[in-house]
Chains A and B, each alone.
Chain A
Amino acid sequence: MSLARFMAILGGLVLTCLILLTCISVLGRGINTFLHSGMMQNTMPGLADTLLGTGVGPVLGDYELVEAGIAFSIFAFLPFCQITAGHATVDIFTSRLSVKVNRFIQMVVEIVFAVVLIVIAMRLYEGMMAKMGLKDTPAILKLFGDKGGLFMSETSQLLQFPLWWAYGLSLIAAIVAATVGVYMAFVRIGEFFSNRTVVESAGVDH
């Protein structure tokens, strides 16, 4: 529970940073455009150019950072959504069924969900390996056998940071999500066999 909370807060902090970054970028671009504008160039060219000389302008590669950061945020939000049973469901039909049947359905759903989250994390790992240029040989072997720096790792266009960094960050969050998924599956199995409710499945709010 606290792990999921921690990840969600971390995701929120990253989201906030991205928001600030984007605002700074917008502001920088705005000032840059203003300084290049006819009015500024005609009335006080010296000042305008001095200010432009400081390099004021949009943040380089802000798109790339947003894309990488937002992916981490969303993966980091998944565990909290999972553990608070926040996924959207339609329950008007099952609400007529008995509590026992509902517990059974929830148990099966959580088990399948856990499997899906594990598969997603595993495939994300494969994706990361592909971005590192380690496609075909076992990853560990390549990591240690290829010390000559022959990686063909894919990088982002502007900032040139290796894309697998972004994948790697997301992977950590995805592993937490899978772990929480497995935990929830056990919770539901326990609920089914002991006939007690541990985690209330609340309605959606969005």
Chain B
Amino acid sequence: MTNFEIGLTSFPVLLLLIFLRVPIGLSMFLVGMFGLYLVTGGWNVALARLKSETYGTFSSYSLSIVPMFLLMGHFATLGGMSTALFKAAESWLGHRRGGVAMAAVGACAGFGSICGSSLATAATMSQVALPELRRYGYSGGFSTATLAAGGTLGILIPPSVILVIYAILTEQNIAKLFLAAFIPGLLAAIGYIITISIYVRIHPDAAGTREPIPYGERFRALADVWPVLVVFLLVVGGIYLGWFTPTEGAAVGAFGTGLIALLNGGLNRASFIESFLATGRSTGMIFFIVLGAAFYNGFLALTQVPQELASYVTSLGFSPWVVLAIILALYLVFGCVMDSLSMILLTIPIFFPIISTLDFGLTPEETAIWFGIIVLIVVEVGLITPPVGMNLFVINSMDRTTPMVATYRAVMYFVASDVVRVIILVAFPSITLFLLRALH
């Protein structure tokens, strides 16, 4: 077998392992190690790399942003910020038709601006918003679907853990990616709010009503959320303006969020330990995948498969848009069964070289940023696509009275809104790149 053939064979082997429930990071690690053994004809290279690569991967300054953002998210969860955000959004929107659901989406967007993870956003907001939604007579399936969809805003609105990984893999500027994610994230929130208003018109009995709240109270509720806004602006603005590196920004954000949580009385010894453990668990998982991916991608690079594939795809002479559509379709399918981070780590080293050889009428940097944002959205759609979307399970398990099928039926409206948004963002790259171009 030539090296190229070994590289190609590794895909099905890797998928088989993953589908046999071997942890994704371990699968990539094993295939990468064994592949290196086959390609270099001995264990020496593989073992020599292992000597420094594990420490090297774990001691990366730019990757240290990941545990810091995770800890920040857990502090935000404990600090009662989700409650303040929901109350503020609810006091302004709650009296409208479907308004409490819209408020939940708005609060998810707000929470997403200090939390970089999708499931965490969905789960945290559900604890606050789900009981309220049910209290005002919103149907179970509609409520859970709204929160599952709202959760995906957590990853889209910066800071986002997955964008950090994408930036490192493709050697792009994290600050610019965060900036580019902002408008698509806002569009997502608006799209979900429109979806809600359409849904309650088609199913009028799915939502209850409530009396409007006086303006004085509304502004008071709004005043409670300013710490969130300060932290968000400080972190994203500071990184963007070059006051500090992304890692420093994450540290400042984690400190600020921790401080707010402490002042709100949300942090005591037990909850500190709780947030350490939760951060530790996700960090361990993420970094083992990153380690596996480093080995697998190192092996793939040796086999020349990514370059060969890229030049093969270019030689076929398809329109760049057709290639992009096929890649996005693949992401949509795999997004249903795999978590977004593993997908990004697994596929970007293969797909990114292909995309960067294609001409979309953008500069290479713009293409990279635009593609990253779209991929991020598409893998997130997978999280809420029945029957396997992970957000759906998490949220549904929080409301025992709602059957899974009810969630499935309602969430299809949100999936439709996502698909429309992806088509718009693909067709008009300038929407994603607008802020970037305007500020440079």
Given the complex of chains A and B, what is the CA–CA distance between A105 and B26 in angstroms? 14
A137 within 8 A of partner (CB): no
Total of A-B residue pairs, C-beta within 8 Å: 206
Interface size on A, residues (CB 8 A): 63
CB distance from A154 to the nearest CB of B (A): 11
Greatest chain A CB density within 10 A among B276, B338, B390 is at: B276
A77 touches B342 (CB 8 A): no
A172 within 8 A of B: no
Q: How many residues of B contact A (CB 8 A)?
A: 67
**Cβ–Cβ contact B252 & A26, under 8 A:** yes
From A8, A22, A105, A106, name the one whose CB has the most chain B CB atoms within 10 angstroms: A22
Q: Which residues of chain B are near A73, meaning CB under 8 Å?
A: 67, 283
CA distance A15 to B118 in the complex (A): 22
- Are A89 and B24 interface neighbours, CB within 8 A? yes
Interface string of A81-98 (1 = CB under 8 A from B): 110101111111110000
Report Cα–Cα, A119/B46, bound state, in Å.
12
CA distance A109 to B284 in the complex (A): 17
Determine which of A5, A71, A109, A174 lies in contact with B277 in the assembled complex, contact meaning CB atoms within 8 Å.
A5
* Complex: chain B residue closest to A22, CB-CB: B251
Q: Give, as a whole number of angstroms, the nearest-CB distance from A95 to chain B.
A: 9
CB of B305 closer than 8 Å to a CB of A: no
In the complex, A139 has a CB within 8 A of chain B: no
Asked if B302 lies at the interface with its beta carbon under 8 angstroms from chain A, I say no
B261 interface residue per 8 A CB criterion = no
Q: Which residues does chain A contribute within 8 Å of B337, judged by CB atoms?
A: 90, 92
Determine whether the beta carbon of A170 is less than 8 Å from that of B55: yes
C-alpha gap A121/B280 in the complex (Å): 19
Bitwise interface map of B from 385 to 398 toward A, beta carbon under 8 Å scored 1, else 0: 00010100110000
The reply on B321 being an interface residue by CB < 8 A is: no
B289 closest partner in A (C-beta): A88
B328 beta carbon closer than 8 Å to chain A: no
Check: A204 CB closer than 8 A to any chain B CB: yes
A→B interface (CB under 8 Å): 5, 8-9, 11-13, 15-16, 18-20, 22-23, 25-26, 30, 63, 66-68, 70-71, 73-78, 80-82, 84, 86-94, 102, 105-106, 109, 112-113, 116, 119-120, 123-124, 126-127, 130, 166-167, 170, 174, 203-206
Q: With A11-B283, A170-B58 given, can you name 15 additional A-B contacts, CB distance below 8 Å?
A: A8-B277, A9-B277, A23-B248, A26-B244, A26-B252, A74-B58, A74-B283, A88-B23, A90-B19, A124-B54, A127-B54, A170-B59, A204-B339, A205-B278, A206-B285
List 13 A-B residue pairs with CB atoms under 8 Å apart, sorted by A's residue number.
A8-B281, A16-B71, A22-B252, A26-B243, A26-B244, A30-B243, A71-B59, A87-B23, A130-B52, A204-B119, A205-B278, A205-B281, A206-B282
